[in-house]
Structure 1
């Protein structure tokens, strides 16, 4: 479902869509949105980065968590209270090396599941899986450097379901994920779980 008027509530997570120009700094756009959501002036909201580059809101808003992703001409943002949240956005484009990337970076069962799919479905399934993995890893805080192979998804009727993960991520049941289309020609996933820090 596309984001109506640029906003969407997915369970406990607020999401927003903004136009984005490649090379543009995303953080000022994110800060403007977060300031409005949190009821503070944009200049009064501090965003710091963890040692792995994960954005963290200032101490006055420490019970809130934010994530954002940009791709193509879109910026997608997420905000949640008392949760860890991660979001990933991917623009539709040809991905002729999707299976090569899956074989190299995904869990073996995921790569095999993708290889078994009809050619016409494989690229979209790859993107959905990539979004799901990246959303979880962004919420976790280390991003792709943690390793795409350290969490495993299995294909289900409407996409992918987390079935195994490194103990540092908790257990699959800790995580909630929602895949959606924030705009035509875009796929996204938002992931969240209870805070552990």
Structure 2
């Protein structure tokens, strides 16, 4: 059972821990306006390019809240943070003082967002709203490894949807951690032990990746499923802190 806590006023993190944050993105117009003030010119221009207003608001919310969270760890003002991007578009903090060692990743689905924070370790996080997807078997056969497709195909119809999302979130969290992107979906295979531990395999080299990567699942809400992947093997539920980002914390940054 995961317990979500309100964050402490003073945030610190060590290389042996990962912090996961969750927040509802259904924010007021006034709060979105306040968050937008901290965005860079490039971020504001990017927000304006979204065709749908809901997507523009979610981008402002996610990037604005990310700045607040990171600023608490770094003890800097949110607007002072600068981001760089990998060729695949993954954001990271520019190397200013100790910022290069603080790693992060973000995911959102529907009205919920999650943020993963780690120190000196690449980290990836994914979140999916549990919804009905038509042709689930065809999608699994196209995008998943044969072993994963076989598992989903053998399940009763009522269980296939959730199984699909479990595989998807773990695989995407790993690919976000490594920076490979979704083009590598079939290169990674997920399996579960009898104790429900997660094993990650590289299908091209048949190498077990658990010696270098830790992965776990979490549920920030009954209607969602999420997954975290972080570099390292000495992790467990006792080394992950789960925080709820609330209104007071946002307003008092």
User: Into which bin does the TM-score normalised by the smaller protein fall?
Assistant: 0.7 to 0.9
Unaligned 5+ runs, structure 2: 8-12, 27-53, 233-253
1:68 is the counterpart of 2:103:
no
1:74-93 to 2 correspondences below 5 Å = 74-93=112-131
The residue number in structure 2 matching 1:150 is 187
SS of 1:65's equivalent in the other structure is: strand
1:38 is the counterpart of 2:65:
no
Q: In structure 2, how many angstroms separate the alpha carbons of the residues matched to 1:42 and 1:180?
A: 28
The residue number in structure 2 matching 1:107 is 145
Return closer, same or farther for 1:67/1:165 CA change in 2, 3 Å cut-off.
Answer: farther
1:133 is the counterpart of 2:133:
no
Return closer, same or farther for 1:2/1:170 CA change in 2, 3 Å cut-off.
Answer: closer
TM-score normalised over the length of structure 2: 0.69
Look at both structures and tell me which one has the larger radius of gyration over its CA atoms: 2
Return closer, same or farther for 1:166/1:58 CA change in 2, 3 Å cut-off.
Answer: farther
Q: CA deviation at 1:119?
A: 1.7
1:15 is the counterpart of 2:52:
no
* Greater share of residues in strand: 1
Q: Cα RMSD between the aligned structures? A: 2.2
Q: In structure 1, how many angstroms separate the alpha carbons of the residues matched to 2:198 and 2:177?
A: 18
1:57 pairs, out of 82, 93, 112, with 93
Return closer, same or farther for 1:104/1:6 CA change in 2, 3 Å cut-off.
Answer: farther
Aligned residues: 190
* Greater share of residues in helix: 2
Q: In structure 1, how many angstroms separate the alpha carbons of the residues matched to 2:223 and 2:160?
A: 16
Q: Which runs of 4+ in 1 moved over 6 A?
A: none
